[in-house]
């Protein structure tokens, strides 16, 4: 076996989760010494093509795998050549790089690396998935988990359809679509704990709804604006329309755009309200008139804390939308904040032994599509925390 072949084998082991800590160290040391990112890309392509010769892949997927591989502080990649890269979903589920900041430990672990595999087996829980209910203007409630693909309902000139990949699509059909009365008819899509869903609105805008969230919107937007009401978290890709602004209302603010991509994190049980802009521009006004309007540029995040103090910061937008891309990403986040995400996604209740354990901070990336046992074992492996599972109750110690 040549050395290049050896590196390809190590990447394959990283992909399927079988790599040892020693081999992972060898892998990152090789690229730190050679700076040959092109070899890394080539090996990643070979691994994909061998496993999935007839399946297409996307740039977003491959880039995510690349970022997972290099996100350890021990890995210092050179300026890599931008290529059309891919990541296959099983790679995201296999690989974990975690740093326990508060403990001063840098720990690299693969999700199924030997540990204590039986501790959480009895109560192990699968991750969330596409689950939601749709409440129509006439009061009908449609469980989207059970609904078959195809047409679900019709309201005036609007047809509602569930696609084969689990999206909800509103489309304008017929002359009645111009009826202004449709703007008075409100629909609500809501995700439970452990649920997420995508909805395509009648104007062509796309909304990804995170777990424990709801979006209220009219069957047809009015002539003057496109207004929706959000509770929880959602990522928006708004169709451009200079004559009709798109407005997202939450309990504490309104975000107005003409056509752009942004994320709003507005859970009622969290102190911080966060609006992150990916592209375009947004204007944010607040329920409290004492707070000055904020104008965001791409890469910026508006943070309104529980004391209603506003900050506008430059942030890592990939972290803000990690949930949409199937990842948990922690960048020095405390355990209390991490476990709020965990409790919503896995539909569990979390309690803490004391306030000290809440403040433990972690940095790292792990797939949202792992079973909960894998996530808890990785957090435990830093030596900073231990968990006890009793049914759907988790105690952090």
Q: What is the CATH number of the domain that holds 295?
A: 2.60.120.1440
Residues 39 and 153 in one domain: no
From 263, 292, 319, the end of a domain falls on: 319
Task: Output the pLDDT for position 62.
Answer: 63
If you search the block for the tokens 């491959």, which residue do you land on? 62
- Token readout for 224 is 């003057």
From 292, 319, 346, the end of a domain falls on: 319
Residues 227 and 282 in one domain: yes
Residues 287 and 337 in one domain: no
Strands 195-200, 129-130: pairing kind: parallel
DSSP state of 343: H
More confident residue, 151 or 175: 151
Which DSSP string do the residues of 106-175 spell out, in sequence order?
Answer: EEEEETTSSS-TTTTTTT-----EE--EEE-TTS-EEETTTPPSEEEEEETTEEEEE-TTSEEEEEE-SG
- Specify the DSSP element, H or E, that contains 390: strand 387-390
C-alpha 193/C-alpha 190 separation (Å) is 10
Residues 154 and 231 in one domain: yes
- Can you say how many angstroms the Cα of residue 116 is from the centroid of all Cα atoms in its chain? 28
Q: Mean pLDDT score of the chain, rounded to an integer?
A: 79
Residues 360 and 282 in one domain: no
C-alpha 235/C-alpha 263 separation (Å) is 4
DSSP state of 325: T
Residues 154 and 267 in one domain: yes
C-alpha 219/C-alpha 168 separation (Å) is 13
Residues 197 and 256 in one domain: yes
Residues 268 and 147 in one domain: yes
Per-residue pLDDT tens digits for 352-362: 999 999 998 88
Domain that holds residue 383: 329-396
> What domain count does the chain have?
3
Task: Output the pLDDT for position 362.
Answer: 84
Phi, psi of 29 (to 5 degrees): -65, -40
Residues 213 and 305 in one domain: yes
DSSP state of 181: G
pLDDT of 227 > 80? The answer is yes
Per-residue pLDDT tens digits for 380-389: 877 788 999 9
* SS3 (DSSP) at 267: coil
Task: Output the pLDDT for position 46.
Answer: 72
pLDDT of 195 > 50? The answer is yes
Does 324 map to a domain? no
DSSP state of 353: S
Per-residue pLDDT tens digits for 236-250: 999 999 889 999 999
Residues 39 and 62 in one domain: yes
From 286, 319, 352, the end of a domain falls on: 319
Summarize the confidence of residues 368-390 as an average pLDDT: 85
Task: Output the pLDDT for position 364.
Answer: 77
Hey, how many other C-beta atoms are within 10 angstroms of the C-beta on 268? 10
Cite the DSSP H helix spans in 294-364.
Answer: 317-320, 335-346, 355-358
Angle ∠(169,170,172) on CA atoms, nearest 5: 140
Q: At what angle do helices 37-51 and 59-70 cross, to 10 degrees?
A: 120
Per-residue pLDDT tens digits for 260-297: 999 999 999 898 899 999 999 999 999 998 999 999 99
- Token readout for 197 is 């869903």
222: confidence class by pLDDT, cuts 50, 70, 90: confident
Residues 257 and 181 in one domain: yes
Does 77 map to a domain? yes
First to last CA, the chain: 47
């Amino acid at each position: 076996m040549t050395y290049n072949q050896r590196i390809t084998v190590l990447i394959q082991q990283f992909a399927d989760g079988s790599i040892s800590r020693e081999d992972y160290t060898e892998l990152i040391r090789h690229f730190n010494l050679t700076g040959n990112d092109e070899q890394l890309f080539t090996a990643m392509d070979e691994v994909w093509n061998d496993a999935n010769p007839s399946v297409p892949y996307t740039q977003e997927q491959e880039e995510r795998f690349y970022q997972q591989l290099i996100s350890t502080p021990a890995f210092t990649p050179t300026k890599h050549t931008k290529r059309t890269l891919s990541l296959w979903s099983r790679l995201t589920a296999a690989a974990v790089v975690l740093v326990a900041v508060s403990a001063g430990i840098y720990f690299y672990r693969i999700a199924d690396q030997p540990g204590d595999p039986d501790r959480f087996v009895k109560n192990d829980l699968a991750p969330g998935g596409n689950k939601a209910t749709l409440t129509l203007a006439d009061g009908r409630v449609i469980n989207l988990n059970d609904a078959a693909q195809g047409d679900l309902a019709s309201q005036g000139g609007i047809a509602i359809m569930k696609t084969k990949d689990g999206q909800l699509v509103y489309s304008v059909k017929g002359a009645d679509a111009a009826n202004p009365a449709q703007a008075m008819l409100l629909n609500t899509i809501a995700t439970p704990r452990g649920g997420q869903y995508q909805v395509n609105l009648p104007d062509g805008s796309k909304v990804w709804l995170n777990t424990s969230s709801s979006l209220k919107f009219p069957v047809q937007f009015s002539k003057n604006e496109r207004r929706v009401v959000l509770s929880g978290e959602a990522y928006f890709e708004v169709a451009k329309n200079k004559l009709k602004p798109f407005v997202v209302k939450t309990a504490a603010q309104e975000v107005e755009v003409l056509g752009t991509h942004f994320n709003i994190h507005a859970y009622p049980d969290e102190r911080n309200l966060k609006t992150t802009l990916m592209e375009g521009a947004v204007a944010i006004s607040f329920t409290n008139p004492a707070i000055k309007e904020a104008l965001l540029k791409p890469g910026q995040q508006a943070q309104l804390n529980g004391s209603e103090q506003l900050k506008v910061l430059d942030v890592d937008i990939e972290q803000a939308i990690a949930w949409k891309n199937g990842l948990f990403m922690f960048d020095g986040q405390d355990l209390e904040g991490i476990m709020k995400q965990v409790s919503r996604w896995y539909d569990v209740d979390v309690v803490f032994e004391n306030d000290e354990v809440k403040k433990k901070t972690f940095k790292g990336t792990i797939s949202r599509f792992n079973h909960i046992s894998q996530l808890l074992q990785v957090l435990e492996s830093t030596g900073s925390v231990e968990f006890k599972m009793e049914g759907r109750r988790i105690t952090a110690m």
